[in-house]
Amino acid sequence: MTFLERLQRAQRDHDSLLCVGLDPDPERFPHRWRGDVQQIFAFCAAIVDATADLVLAFKPQIAYFSAYRAEQQLERLIAHIRDVAPDIPVILDAKRGDIGSTAERYAVEAFERYGADAVTLSPFMGFDSVEPYLRRHDKGAFLLCRTSNPGGEDFQTQRLAGVAGEPTLYERIAQLAQGAWNRNGQLGLVVGATYPAEIARVRALAPTLPLLIPGIGAQGGDVRATVLAGWRGAKDGSAGSAGSVKPAPIIVNSSRAILYASAEEDFAAAARREATHTRDQLRAACRQAEE
């Protein structure tokens, strides 16, 4: 089963567009674990156990583990997800971007050491920085396209001279990911919820690619605007009518709002409540998008 097929199945089976980002900050752990980096696995595993039936993906951010020399805890965490939620894909948020043998080693890190199903990549160095990840045909890769941070405008919205139609950089990335670069149907794009107009533009340019959308929750992205911009459901052929192309999922990520819904002993239950609320908001927005 390919990564996209696993993602579509998880979306269908859990009726969810929610991805929970696993960004463990020991300084925000419940009081009994506050500041204890040895509890990173325990904290994240509790979140996974509390939310696994509500999501279509988990997204651990590698920096929150490597900063505390907790890579082995990340390995344990992904193995734990495999045990308790084998149907849920894991997207390793690493934003790698290098070429040649270095990219090959990063691919080994993501897919063999950690066992992730997909990884986030920076495409700035071109296709040869992406290609090593695509040699594993059952894996996925999400290219940074139009990110949610304000500094993304420094490059991503600049127009490219000498390219037909003078697209912006983020539009060109979307075009390449939908077209020539997507050799095995493995690519997706990262687009920020804080820019819904750009989400809609990326969706128009890349109608069949999964979109990983961070920026709701603590970053302030609007759930309804995000879904209306990126979601394409039954009215666009998702039921699989003859000759139609099934639109790929949108993966709407929330991290801090769910992870730190409570600093007390009920942190996992509070995370579940927040995840349920967000999932239900996404469902409601999908219904509106279908009307």
Task: Tell me the domains of the chain and their CATH numbers.
Answer: 3-290 (3.20.20.70)
Name the more confident of 150 and 236.
150
Q: For residue 18, what pLDDT band results from cuts at 50, 70 and 90?
A: very high
| 129-134 contact pairs (CB < 8 A, 24+) | 129/97, 129/98, 129/99, 129/103, 130/103, 130/181, 130/187, 131/103, 132/103, 132/104, 132/106, 132/107, 133/103, 133/106, 133/107, 133/186, 134/183, 134/184, 134/186, 134/187
Residue 237 has pLDDT above 70, yes or no: no
pTM of the entire structure? 0.93
Per the CB < 8 A criterion, the answer to whether 169 and 202 are in contact is no
Q: Which of 59, 95, 139, 235 is catalytic?
A: 95
Residue 243 has pLDDT above 60, yes or no: no
Q: What is the pLDDT of residues 93-142, one digit of tens each?
A: 999 999 999 999 999 999 999 999 999 999 999 999 999 999 999 999 99
Q: For residue 209, what pLDDT band results from cuts at 50, 70 and 90?
A: very high
Active site (annotated) includes residue 95: yes
Residue 219 has pLDDT above 70, yes or no: no
Name the more confident of 290 and 203.
203
Question: What pLDDT score was predicted for residue 242?
Answer: 35
Residue 159 has pLDDT above 60, yes or no: yes
